[in-house]
């Protein structure tokens, strides 16, 4: 069975095709700058051990044209991986916001689409793009089952003490202002891998997703009980371009004393802050080079970044009332040896001790990097949100 996973952004689209049940990735690709003259597709497929890359540029005015071009590549006679759109049994869509309505993967019906529409105001940058791609995929693959997998779903198990804000009751009851949390598909995937590795279904885990966006989750027995992002993806950790936690008084101050508009402040906190704001780049690899060259701003940025993660480790150890493992994942978490070292420094009191040598030895797949005397396992688990979506689609009854 072929399951096509689609992860749409406002001007980009990532896709991956899996052959189930053996979970074999057949091909993967990325469409970027949709709607611009220099839009391009980069498609990669595997034949045995050989990797074949196809690139196409231009002629991609919208998501519809983009997905059609992807289909043309998938079904190219002789070199394609399918022979017709009907070879795709399921299209799994990553949908960012499922509100309180969706806690599980969901077969897309007109009513589900309508609900996703009502959630546009909660995720104005993401849900409209996800919705567009659902409509496009329905037309492109008319006989496939369309399934939505929500980024917020995994966190729907949080108790009210974790998800409620101390605002007047009506703000929750009428406007649904609460913590939703994101990166749920990634937190779920890596914590399940950790539970299997630990052979402990009731493990107490802290999942640390450090990519462009960054978040943490406290997970007890496979259930998310707290997470660092909030109503939107701005709260919590310092990220590539987002500030993470700040006192909302800063917003009022900037509005009152500098006359900044809501749009300017949104751009400031979402797009100009975080590592980018502190150093001028949001790419941790460049920041790392600058740290090695003794750049003071880059060093400060890494200190702030690691310190914030350490504070959340402390908080989540408390709310979990114990800890079996912390898990590093995503671009920075999987690859940046030094940030893992800074984060794990002086956490002996919590039983977290890093083996410096193991931390520096990169091997593929899950690896444990704690020292022999560490009470808590320290795991590096490569995330795979696309595979997690494919698995959730495959497990849906009737698929
Ligand atoms: P996204 O949230 O876009 O999925 P990723 O998980 O791909 O992000 O992470 C992107 C981040 O990972 C970038 O900031 C990049 O600098 C960082 N990154 C990737 N490789 C490395 C590396 N080898 N060392 C440090 N950081 C890395």
H or E segment and range at residue 359:
helix 356-360
Q: Which of 326, 339, 234, 233 minimizes the C-alpha distance to 285?
A: 339
> In whole angstroms, what is the distance from residue 6 CA to residue 157 CA?
25
Homologous superfamily of 2-150: ATPase, nucleotide binding domain (3.30.420.40)
Residue whose CB lies within 8 A of the most ligand 1 atoms, among 125, 211, 279, 343, for a mutation test: 211
According to DSSP, the residues that pair with 16 across neighbouring strands are: 5, 28
- What is the per-residue pLDDT for 11? 85
Q: How far is the CA of 285 from the centre of ligand 1 (A)?
A: 8
284 in ligand 1 pocket by Cβ < 6 Å? yes
- The region of weakest confidence among 7-11, 212-216, 315-319, 326-330 is 7-11
**Tokens matching residue 282:** 């949001």
Q: Are the folds of 2-150 and 199-380 the same? A: yes
According to DSSP, the residues that pair with 91 across neighbouring strands are: 4, 146
Query: Please, how many CA atoms are within 13 Å of residue 374, restricted to the half-sphere of its CB?
Result: 22
pTM: 0.94
**Average pLDDT of span 250-279:** 96
Residue nearest atom 19 in ligand 1 by C-alpha distance? 331
- What is the per-residue pLDDT for 398? 77
> Which pLDDT tens digit goes with each residue over 159-169?
999 999 999 99
According to DSSP, the residues that pair with 217 across neighbouring strands are: 207, 227
**DSSP assignment, residue 231?**
S
- What is the per-residue pLDDT for 334? 97
What long-range pairs does 258-264 form, CB within 8 A, spacing at least 24?
none
Query: 62, 104, 151, 355: which is the annotated catalytic residue?
Result: 151
Q: How far lies 229's CA from each of 6, 111, 114, 392, in Å? A: 23, 28, 25, 23
Residue 143, number of CB atoms within 10 A of its CB: 10
**Average pLDDT of span 64-75:** 90
Q: Which of 379, 373, 384 minimizes the C-alpha distance to 326?
A: 379
**Average pLDDT of span 318-340:** 98
Q: In the predicted model, what is the mean pLDDT of the chain?
A: 95
Q: How far is the CA of 111 from the centre of ligand 1 (A)?
A: 37
Q: Is the peptide bond preceding residue 21 cis, with omega within 30 degrees of 0?
A: yes
Question: Could you tell me the residue ranges of all domains in the chain?
Answer: 2-150, 199-380
> In whole angstroms, what is the distance from residue 231 CA to residue 240 CA?
19
> In whole angstroms, what is the distance from residue 237 CA to residue 268 CA?
16
Percent of the chain with pLDDT over 70: 100
Q: Which CATH architecture has domain 199-380?
A: 2-Layer Sandwich (3.30)
- Residue 44's pLDDT band, with cuts at 50, 70 and 90, is very high
- The region of weakest confidence among 2-16, 100-114, 223-237, 323-337 is 2-16
**Average pLDDT of span 8-20:** 91
151 an active-site residue?
yes
**Average pLDDT of span 341-350:** 97
CB 41 within 8 A of CB 70: yes
Residue 185 main-chain phi, psi, to 5 deg: -65, -40
> In whole angstroms, what is the distance from residue 310 CA to residue 287 CA?
20
Residue 194, pLDDT > 90, answer yes
Percent of the chain with pLDDT over 90: 88
Residue 365, pLDDT > 80, answer yes
């Amino acid at each position: 069975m072929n399951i096509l996973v689609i992860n749409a952004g406002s001007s980009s689209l990532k896709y991956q095709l899996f052959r189930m049940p053996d979970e074999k990735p057949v091909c993967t690709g990325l469409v970027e700058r949709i709607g611009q003259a220099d839009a391009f597709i980069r498609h990669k497929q595997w034949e045995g051990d050989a990797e074949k890359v196809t690139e196409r540029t231009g002629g991609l005015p919208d998501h519809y044209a983009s997905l059609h071009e992807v289909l043309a590549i998938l079904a190219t006679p002789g070199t394609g991986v399918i022979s017709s759109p009907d070879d795709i049994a399921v299209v799994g869509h990553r949908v960012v916001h499922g509100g309180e309505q969706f806690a599980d993967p969901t077969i897309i019906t007109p009513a589900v689409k309508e609900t996703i529409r009502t959630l546009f105001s909660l995720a104005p940058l993401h849900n409209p793009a996800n919705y567009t791609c659902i409509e496009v995929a329905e037309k492109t693959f008319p006989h496939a089952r369309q399934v939505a997998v929500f980024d917020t779903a995994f966190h729907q198990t949080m108790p009210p003490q974790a998800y409620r804000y101390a605002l007047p009751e009506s703000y929750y009851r009428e406007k649904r202002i609460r913590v939703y949390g994101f990166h749920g598909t990634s937190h779920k995937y890596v914590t399940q891998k950790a539970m299997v590795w630990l052979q402990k279904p009731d493990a107490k885990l802290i999942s640390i997703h450090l990519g462009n966006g960054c978040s943490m989750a406290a997970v007890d027995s496979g259930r998310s009980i707290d997470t660092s992002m909030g109503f939107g993806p701005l709260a919590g950790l310092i990220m590539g371009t987002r500030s993470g936690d700040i006192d909302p008084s800063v917003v009022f101050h900037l509005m009152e004393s500098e006359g900044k508009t809501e749009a300017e402040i949104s751009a400031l906190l979402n797009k100009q802050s975080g590592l980018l704001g502190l150093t001028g780049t949001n790419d941790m690899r460049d920041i790392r080079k600058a740290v090695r060259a003794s750049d003071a701003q880059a060093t400060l940025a890494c200190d702030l970044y690691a310190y914030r993660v350490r504070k959340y480790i402390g908080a989540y150890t408390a709310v979990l009332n114990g800890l079996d493992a912390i898990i590093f994942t995503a671009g920075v978490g999987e690859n940046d040896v030094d940030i893992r070292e800074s984060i794990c420094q002086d956490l002996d009191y919590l039983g977290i001790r890093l083996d410096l040598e193991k931390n520096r030895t990169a091997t593929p797949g899950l690896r444990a990097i704690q020292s022999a005397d560490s009470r808590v396992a320290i795991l590096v688990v490569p995330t795979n949100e696309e595979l997690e979506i494919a698995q959730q689609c495959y497990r849906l009854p009737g698929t």
